[in-house]
Chain A
Amino acid sequence: MSNKTVVQATINGEEVEFLCETRQSLLEVLRDVLRLTGTKEGCNNGNCGACNVILEGVLVNSCLVLGVEVQGKSITTIEGIASPQGLHPLQQKFLEHAALQCGICTPGVLVSAKALLDRHPHPSEHEVRHWLAGNLCRCTGYDKIVHAILDAADVMSAEVTK
């Protein structure tokens, strides 16, 4: 039984139209249909955060959203974080702090961190750690990630006040 549906959505500011099966998750649509492979599959059940995207301004696990559910919605993936001018401050700070090793969790962590700073531009260390509870990293021990995010928050607020 094939149940393909046409879905229109805005992904990273661009209007796209795609054909997806009702049983495909947003994660599968992003990776397999739209070839946006920056979003990673980790656990595929909502525990690890590797597939996190921002849906209508809200952080979600893309493995727990059906592709057909995003009709008319706006989505930001890791591919939409950097600007044509260069890396996002979060990405820059992740490089400077060496806040990644194998890199599988990194896109999801960056998307989560962006959603955090969009909502709370000056988070405390505790807030950063709490916010990242749903992003699992088996390499870094989290410390470098947390410090990179706090540093990026400082840089971004300095840019705003300039």
Chain B
Amino acid sequence: MQAFEYIPATTVNEAIAILHQQGDQARLISGGTDLIVQLREGRRKPKIVVDIKRIPEVNQLSYNLIDGLTIGAAVPCYKLYGSAVIKETYPGLIDAASLIGGVQIQGRATLGGNLCNASPAADSIPALIAHNAIAVVAGMNGERHIPVQDFCTSPGRTQLEPDEMLVSIQVPAPRAHSYGAYLRFTPRNEMDIAVVGVGVWVALDDTRVVITAARIALGAVGPTPLFVNEAGASLVGQPIGSQAIEKAALIAQLAAKPITDMRGSAEQRRHLVAVLTRRALDSAIARASA
């Protein structure tokens, strides 16, 4: 690993000032499970590594019925499933957080890092998109909010300017009878990278028979995680049942733009999109009906 300067920042402004001054010569570290590997392999060669873990804002993890869930950018995955209220309210996010790497990765890795690393196959991003999450970003001119569905621009690239940092991820408070789910296909149950991932979120009416809102997002079938607005929209006003689900799964399948690589062929991935969309919708609807 090449030498670098290590700066433990204590405020958002301090971290941003370093980014502003150093541009792409500086990288932020929180969990480090991606960055340290990139440094070791020489894929990134920053002169400065800024540790953000001592900044209070990026360590927030809070939930209330009005503001919903705030996940600080440096909150490791294990803290999400360590919270009973988050587990109960956002099981669709927990599905993803408990699949990223193994236990020892989840002890360090963060959803914020997963998002900023912008892998097309990131597990948490389709789940966050399905939950309509917003990225709270700080820069020299203050804060801006970017919907997670627009955050990633190409593999490894995001809307973040060189002198901006992700502070937190905001997940809206749940509507009545609404739940999410995330499913992925991997050859091995744990410690693997998604061949396809599907995040969904559905809201039911008070009778829990009719779908009033739905969102579907796909992972590993395009250069970025894909939000498939039409697939979710097709479910609105429909009674829960296999007909509506089949149609949404088909729309999701048509929206996928998979490639063939070492993890799977484009054909297999297209097939998996339909299967996983169906199953994830079944799971989210079952949660919302319970």
Interface residues of A (CB under 8 A from B): 1-3, 5, 21-25, 44-47, 49, 52, 55, 58-61, 63-66, 68-69, 71, 112, 115-116, 130-131, 133-135
In this assembly, does B243 line the interface, its C-beta being within 8 Å of a C-beta of chain A? no
Min distance, Cβ B17 to any Cβ of chain A, angstroms: 20
Bound CA span A162–B98, Å: 35
Residues of B within 8 A of A44 (CB): 40
Could you list 24 examples of A-B contacts with CB < 8 Å?
A3-B5, A3-B6, A22-B3, A23-B1, A23-B4, A23-B39, A46-B33, A46-B37, A46-B101, A49-B102, A58-B76, A58-B107, A59-B104, A60-B108, A63-B36, A65-B36, A65-B108, A66-B49, A131-B103, A133-B190, A134-B101, A134-B105, A134-B191, A135-B102
Interface size on B, residues (CB 8 A): 29
Q: Is the CB of B40 within 8 A of A45?
A: yes
Contact between chains at B3 and A64 (CB < 8 Å): no
CA A47 – CA B107 in complex, angstroms?
14
Cross-interface CB contact of A64 among B6, B8, B37, cutoff 8 Å: B37
A1 surroundings in chain B (CB, below 8 A):
3
Complexed CA–CA distance, A52 and B108 (Å): 12
Residue B2 CB within 8 A of the other chain: yes
User: Hey, which chain B residues are within 8 Å of A3, CB to CB?
Assistant: 3-6
Is there contact, CB below 8 Å, between A64 and B32?
A: yes
Residues of chain B contacted by A69 (CB below 8 angstroms): 29, 32, 51, 53
Are the CB atoms of B103 and A112 closer together than 8 Å? yes
- Chain B contacts of A45 at CB under 8 A? 37, 40
Residue among A44, A49, A112, A133 having the largest count of chain B Cβ atoms under 10 Å: A133
Interchain residue pairs A-B with the least CB separation, the first 7: A134-B102, A133-B190, A22-B6, A23-B1, A58-B107, A1-B3, A133-B102
Would you give the shortest CB distance from B232 to chain A, in whole angstroms?
Answer: 32
Q: How far is the CA of A65 from the CA of B40 in the complex (A)?
A: 12
Q: By CB atoms of chain A within 10 A, which of B51, B102, B105 has the most?
A: B102
Interface membership of chain B positions 92-136, coded 1 if the CB is closer than 8 angstroms to chain A and 0 otherwise:
000000000111110110000000000000000000000000000
Q: Confirm or deny: B189 has a beta carbon within 8 angstroms of a beta carbon on chain A.
A: yes
**Mask of B1-21 contacts with A, CB within 8 angstroms, 1/0:** 111111010000000000000
Interface residues of B in 30-45 (CB under 8 A from A): 32-33, 36-37, 39-40
Give Cα A3 to B40, complex, Å: 17
- Answer whether residue B78 sits at the interface, using C-beta atoms and an 8 A cutoff: yes
User: Given contacts A60-B107, A66-B6, could you give 18 more A-B pairs where the C-beta distance is less than 8 Å?
Assistant: A3-B3, A3-B4, A3-B6, A22-B49, A49-B102, A58-B76, A58-B78, A59-B103, A60-B104, A61-B108, A64-B33, A66-B32, A69-B29, A69-B32, A69-B51, A130-B189, A133-B103, A134-B105
Q: Given the interface contacts A64-B32, A134-B191, does A59 sit within 8 Å of B3 by beta carbon?
A: no
Q: Provide the bound-state CA to CA distance between A55 and B104, in Å.
A: 10
Question: CB-nearest residue of chain A relative to B3?
Answer: A1
In Å, the complex CA distance between A43 and B6 comes to: 24
Residue in A closest to B78 when the chains form the complex, CB atoms: A58
Our pick among A2, A5, A131 for the contact of B6 (Cβ within 8 Å) is: A5
Residues of chain A contacted by B40 (CB below 8 angstroms): 44-45
Do residues A46 and B105 form an inter-chain contact, with CB atoms below 8 A?
A: yes
Residues of B within 8 A of A52 (CB): 104
